[in-house]
Structure 1
Amino acid sequence: MANPSRAWNWLSIPPSHHEGSEWRSMTIADHARSLTKAEPDFIAISDERRDLTRCEWLDEAQALAAALQKRGYGAGDVIAFQLPNWHEAAVIDLAAALAGLVIVPIVPIYRDAEVRLMLADSGARALFTCAEFRNYDFAAMAARVQQELPQLEDIFVVRGDDTLGEDYASLVQQGTQLDLKEVEVDPKGAKMVLYTSGTTGRPKGVLHSHTTLDHVLDHSAAHWGVSEGDTLIMPSPVTHISGFANGLEMPLVRGTRTILMERWDAAEAVALIDRHRVSGTVAATPFLVELADTARKAGTRLPSLRWFACGGAAVPPELIPSARKAFDNLVAFRVFGASEVPLVTYGWPDNPELAATTDGEVVDYQVRIVDDEGRDLPPGEEGEILAHGPAMMLGYSDEEQTRAAIDERGFFRTGDLGRLTADGALTVTGRKKDLIIRGGENISAVEIEDVLRAHPGLQEVSVVAMPHDRLGEGVCAYCIAGDEPPAIGDLVDHVINSGLAKQKIPERFEFVTDFPRTASGKVRKDQLRKDIARKLADA
């Protein structure tokens, strides 16, 4: 029976939100069937354990979808997965499309507090998780969370055994004996809810359709010169918008092959790129830095590697030309986007100077730069970046958040500051939103502040981004304590015990007697960011 608590449709979307948008009316299931018919033995997904041909991918997904149907899962029901970059994630995604289910990818770094919130908010009936990964017991966490969520009926353990819960492999095997019932799926309806951190501390559920993701993948691939049969490597989590779209769905939309990396290792990446003749990737800035350094040390110039679209963390201008020099044929460029508006810019593959000094070319989005009153600014002026286009989200799972994020003209307020030239070059200059981007991960400062304020030894807390050599930004907590500041170890334990992910533990604590404030008493976080940057530079 379909979950009655969610009606994933267009009712919460402002009427003008997608007027004029052009899409292909295909789901990824339609793409999968078409490609499999054309070349069934083409290897589309590879990880450390298995090479998955198009035929095997589709067959396994059909079996999984049939098994879920047998258990009463119907169109519109919600299922979630919290997995590393394993081929099973691709099977689960395609199975959801075949059965008309809504998919919720959950990043593996999240723990009880975040996972519980996302599953409750989405109304997920099932969670696919791993037994253990990076010395953490995900199956045990899933069992704890399930006790508090009555609607979460099933836990399926991938690469586990029957002692940990229902086994994914057994479920697929059951489905091979069943017939998959055809389901009519609206390509423009919600197919995915992707949670992203916001300024309120509460993750927002971003809704995308088959057609929004199809559009951005088709157009970005054409812009970058990606052809059917090309091989891409994916080190970014497939539970992120970048890894999900380019890693799991690009092989279906553009007929490519994806090499999945379970965890990032630059030396392994060099070897995989060389062995599989990888042509490109979309990944966070630190990956490009380490890949170039490792390739130089290994004495290889990776001639197959043609393009690298990077973003998610600050990109120093000197990085792009430096990376290009490390390889024979690589074109590296900066791109800009967000879960809500994936790839507002596609980069400058053919313009080395603009590729290094701007965050890309605006291609099929409309972008406005506005002042604090929402008035449009002339080219070259700094203001908030607003974007509208065919790949834009349908909205948030929360209608109030949708209304707050989209203006009366249907443009998404990104919260980022930037400048736009008359010829479409966009440069991001800062962030209006109170987010920390740590190695491409969006971390809410407010969420960490709320946890730290609960510590009895602290009176007030302000969390800001600080420079980080490798990850772009780290987490710094400015604290006002009582008579005696608590030990750093106690504060770290306090954050860990709250259930937040370890990436949200502040890497540095600064104790002060007061914060710089505005006339109205609001904390001047810009000054705190400058203060910690200066201290780190002087260290």
Structure 2
Amino acid sequence: MNLSDQLSLTAKNHFSKPAYVFNGEETDYKTLEGSVTKFASSLESLGYQKGDHIALVVGNTPHFVIGLYGAMRLGLTVIPVNPIYTADEIAYIINNGDVKGVITLDVLMEKFEQMTSMIPNVEHYIVGETDPQLQGRESSLKEQTYSFTKLVQSGSLEFDRPTLNDDDTAVILYTSGTTGKPKGAMLTHKNLFSNARDTAEYLQIGENDRVIAALPMFHVFCLTVALNAPLVNGSTILIVPKFSPDAVFKVARDHQATVFAGVPTMYNYLLQYPNEEEKDFSNIRLCISGGASMPVALLEKFEQHFDVQISEGYGLSEASPVTCFNPLDRPRKAGSIGTSIVNVENKVVNEHGEEVPTGEVGELAVRGPNVMKGYYKMPEETQASIKDDWLYTGDMAKQDEEGYFYIVDRKKDLILVGGYNVYPREVEEVLYSHENITEVAVIGVPDENLGEAVVAFVVSNNEDLTEEDLRKLSQDKLAKYKQPKEINFLEELPKNTTGKILRRSLKEQVATQ
């Protein structure tokens, strides 16, 4: 089974049910299934065939859903790209990914017109219409440009689909590239389908659920948890074009949303939203957190305020992405990423790949049908990451006696102070426990005496809070070598488009001081 065939099956069983809601308008499963088939048919008419690569450079709109599933139905490999990337970043992915065509939006075409010489191998631009003011605009790429809407309308339902094999590459996801150039994780049809199915089962996402998709769809967290998993079981997806607390609360209220998925930063913004009358999550039965470790203080405050359970999980692009979630059939453990989801194994290993005793810290390794087949055109990097079918995540973790895993920190973020290991998250949790702290990031900086020193960056909602207040807090709760040497107050921490705090930017900031 694959996602394309599963959509056909879901549409057969739930044809009149809303598949998604966008800008207040519902689209049922029968209509979505027809649009996907006709779009695949039109792509074939343009000369695309199984194995070709196509980039999907759109935000959270129906174009993403139809474009993704239509391209996969033809057997194409889809490369989702962040639409706010710079020209250089987009060009690198398109060229490295051997992209033949680009699915994008009218509001982004000016960027592509300026990039023509950078991506000479792109043959077609399939453009979704979103802004009426841009209709009739002359484009220097008009000979290569096709209307997304017209391709869907003109396609045939008598489309003869190719056979999709489990090991065929369905999607290539380029990692954020915190070190060097981004790497393209090749995810197969089996990878994506199994993870969507197993995530839906583990989190009990079913046909009566209405799932808010406010995370960016090009990101693997949203792709699996808020898009593919709901479609597998006939849920309704509530598409939010761009995250904001008022947009999320409005969608939740207007459409009686039952599931919300977000990164910790989103939960922080929702909790801090000043208009109490609009903070309505009364129909939400489950909140899902991932993308970064959620501070325990934030998790507990959110659950108490909204009277809803947060299931924190863990994943990475190379694993499609989900490997763990806090189970729903027993109490969740604050600070834990939960237990292995069905059909996926996790273990904690030392530098020799040997499993460490319960409670000890090591690197988290993952095995299952969700693990990528490798990095595109990077065999050496693939070999370094996947050993004996186990994917080495680069995250430091530990496991308790009940099988719950805890992320201690990224392997590369470990701080060595005088030979002692300091995990940034431990220091961050202490600072987060102060009632006036809303965001924290801790990094290591070079120190001529100790090798590295701990530096903290904090955002406060109280201008009277002082460095001395936080120093006293850390002195009470942390060993001396773990205490921050410096505490810097910022108005906001640097983040990427998914809301993940960028420690790298903070390190660069310190280096230039």
Is this a same-fold pair by TM over 0.5? yes
Which one of 297, 304, 320 corresponds to residue 283 of structure 2? 304
1:172 match: 152
1:535 aligns with 2:466: no
Query: 2 CA distance for matches of 1:93 and 1:400?
Result: 29
Which residue does the alignment assign to 2:128? 158
What is the alpha-carbon distance in structure 1 between the residues aligned to residue 399 and residue 328 of structure 2?
Answer: 18
1:74 matches 2:49: yes
Q: Is the 8 A contact 1:193 1:207 kept in 2?
A: yes
Is 1:149 the counterpart of 2:115 in the alignment?
no
Measure, in 2, the Cα distance between the counterparts of 1:392 and 1:161: 43
Q: Secondary structure at the match of 2:314?
A: coil
**Alpha-carbon offset, residue 294 of structure 1:** 3.5
Q: Which runs of 5+ in 1 are unaligned?
A: 1-25, 133-137, 436-466, 479-514
**Offset of residue 255 of structure 1:** 1.0
d(CA) in 1 for partners of 2:24, 2:196:
27
The residue identity in structure 2 corresponding to 1:402 is T
1:89 corresponds, among 47, 53, 64, to: 64
Residue in 1 aligned with 2:38?
63
Name the stretch that deviates more: 423-432 or 206-215: 206-215
Q: Does 1:361 align with 2:339?
A: yes
CA RMSD of aligned residues (A): 2.8
Is the contact made by 1:318 and 1:356 (CA closer than 8 Å) also made in structure 2? no
Counterpart-to-counterpart distance in 2, 1:288 and 1:355 = 18
Match of 1:48 in 2: 23
Asked if structure 2 preserves the Cα contact closer than 8 Å seen for 1:96 and 1:103, the reply is: yes
Instruction: Tell me by how many angstroms 1:268 deviates.
Output: 2.0
**Candidates 222, 226, 248, aligned match of 1:269:** 248
Q: Are 2:213 and 2:227, in contact at CA under 8 Å, matched by a contact in 1?
A: no
Q: Say whether the 8 Å CA contact 1:44–1:52 is kept in structure 2.
A: yes
Aligned residue for 1:504?
none
Q: Work out which of the residue numbers 382, 385, 389 in structure 2 matches 1:405.
A: 385
Give the distance between the partners of 1:344 and 1:251, measured in 2 at CA. Answer: 17
- Aligned residues of 2:54 and 2:102 also touching (Cα < 8 A): yes
The alpha-carbon distance between structure 1 residues 250 and 223, as it changes in their structure 2 partners (threshold 3 A), is closer
Residue 254 of structure 2: SS of its match in structure 1? helix
1:333 paired residue number: 311
Shift of 1:181: 2.9
**Contact map agreement 1:313 1:473 (CA 8 A) in 2:** no
Tell me the CA shift for residue 242 of structure 1.
1.1
Q: Give yes or no for contact 1:346–1:360 (8 Å, CA) kept in 2.
A: yes
State the Cα deviation string for residues 217-262 of structure 1 (Å, max 9, x = none): 2222222222213110011000000111233322331111111111
Among 347, 350, 353, which residue is 2:326 paired with? Answer: 347
The answer for the alignment partner of 1:427 in structure 2 is: 406
Larger CA deviation: 261-270 vs 216-225: 216-225
Cα contact 2:42–2:155 (8 A) shared by 1:
yes
Q: Secondary structure at the match of 1:155?
A: strand
Alignment-mate amino acid for residue 324 of structure 2: T
Q: Secondary structure at the match of 2:325?
A: coil
Corresponding residue SS for 1:340? helix
- Report if aligned partners of 1:301, 1:326 keep a CA contact under 8 Å in 2: no
Would you say the 8 A contact 2:102–2:126 is kept in 1?
yes
The CA deviation string for residues 487-534 of structure 1, in whole angstroms up to 9 with x for no partner, is xxxxxxxxxxxxxxxxxxxxxxxxxxxx43799xxxx6x636559965
| 1:29-54 CA distance string (max 9 Å, x none) | 21122122222221101222742211
Match for residue 385 of structure 1? 364
CA contact (8 A) 2:347 2:364 kept: yes
Alignment of 1:102-501 (within 5 A): 102-132=77-107, 138-159=108-129, 161=135, 163-164=138-139, 165=142, 166=145, 167-176=147-156, 179-294=158-273, 297-298=276-277, 301-328=280-307, 330-341=308-319, 342-352=321-331, 354-364=332-342, 365-397=344-376, 398-407=378-387, 409-433=388-412, 473=441
Specify the SS of the correspondent of 1:58: helix
- State the distance in 2 between where 1:93 and 1:401 align: 27
Is contact 2:453-2:485 (8 Å) kept? no
Q: Do 2:21 and 2:27's aligned partners in 1 also have CA atoms closer than 8 Å?
A: yes
Q: Is the 8 A contact 1:27 1:187 kept in 2?
A: yes
Q: Which whole-Å CA distance do the structure 1 matches of 2:312 and 2:60 have between them?
A: 24
1:266 alignment partner AA: P
Q: In the alignment, is the contact (CA less than 8 A) between 2:440 and 2:456 conserved in 1?
A: no
Q: Secondary structure at the match of 2:322?
A: coil
Structure 2 unaligned blocks of 5 or more: 415-430, 459-483, 491-513
Counterpart AA for 2:236:
R
Higher relative contact order (CA 8 A, sep 6+): 1
1:129–1:157 CA contact under 8 A, matched in 2:
yes
Letter of the structure 2 residue corresponding to residue 527 of structure 1: A
Q: Matched residues in 2 for 1:143 and 1:472: separation?
A: 40
Letter in 2 for 1:387: V
Q: Whole-Å Cα distance in 2 between the matches of residues 251 and 376 of structure 1? A: 35
Contact 1:309-1:333 at 8 Å conserved across structures: yes
- The residue that corresponds to 2:5 in the other structure is 30
Which whole-Å CA distance do the structure 1 matches of 2:174 and 2:438 have between them?
A: 25
CA contact (8 A) 1:382 1:417 kept: yes
Task: Figure out how many residues of one structure are paired with residues of the other and give that number.
Answer: 432
